[in-house]
């Protein structure tokens, strides 16, 4: 079609003004471009990214039972939130390596600090396994591992 229109614009056997023929060629090209432009430039569909469901504020404020299992006896244990508030601590050296208690709230980030008892801490690897049992959610478990005292962070999903 373009070749035909171009030939018409420059063909001396066609009657009429060259300016008028050029105008009709431009008009024909414009009319051919409009449907092509509409076909190729459709508005893009907005796709919202799927995000993990956020924890509800009331869920964060509910008490959360937990179990902390240690590989060796500890002299002190602290569980803090991101602002540094101590949620739970054990400062007395006991003979037990498993603790069960309740956090007053379920924070987004947990900071765990464990100082091992010097008389019962042989050289090697140490671990602390923290299991949270929040209400209305599945249990969450994380294992902290270190060759010395544990001072680690856990960002909850």
Higher pLDDT, 44 or 53: 44
Phi, psi for residue 115 in degrees, rounded to 5: -110, 120
- First-to-last alpha carbon distance for the chain, in angstroms, is 61
Q: H or E element: which one contains 96?
A: none
Tokens 């478990």: give the residue.
141
- For the segment 22-43, what is each residue's pLDDT rounded down to a tens digit? 888 899 888 888 888 888 887 7
The average pLDDT across 95-105 equals 87
Judged against a pLDDT cut of 80, whether residue 157 lies above it is answered with: yes
In this predicted structure, which of 21-25, 48-52, 147-151 has the lowest mean pLDDT? 48-52
The answer to whether residues 72 and 115 touch, using CB atoms and an 8 Å cutoff, is no
The answer to whether residues 143 and 128 touch, using CB atoms and an 8 Å cutoff, is yes
pLDDT at 43: 74
Domain segments of the chain as ranges: 2-40, 57-155
In this predicted structure, which of 5-14, 65-74, 148-157 has the lowest mean pLDDT? 5-14
């Amino acid at each position: 079609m373009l070749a035909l229109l171009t030939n018409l614009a420059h063909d001396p056997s066609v009657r009429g003004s060259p300016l008028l023929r050029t105008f009709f060629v431009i008009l024909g090209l414009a009319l051919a471009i409009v449907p092509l432009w509409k076909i190729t430039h459709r508005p893009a569909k907005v796709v919202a990214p799927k995000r993990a469901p956020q924890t509800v504020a009331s869920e964060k404020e509910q008490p959360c039972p937990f179990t902390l299992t240690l590989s060796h006896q500890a002299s002190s244990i602290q569980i803090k939130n991101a602002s540094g508030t101590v949620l739970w601590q054990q400062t007395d050296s006991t003979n037990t390596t498993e603790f069960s208690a309740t956090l007053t709230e379920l924070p987004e980030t947990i900071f765990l600090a464990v100082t091992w008892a010097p008389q019962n801490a042989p050289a090697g690897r140490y671990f602390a396994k923290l299991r949270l049992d929040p209400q209305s959610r599945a249990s969450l478990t994380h294992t902290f591992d270190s060759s010395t005292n544990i001072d680690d962070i856990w960002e909850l999903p």
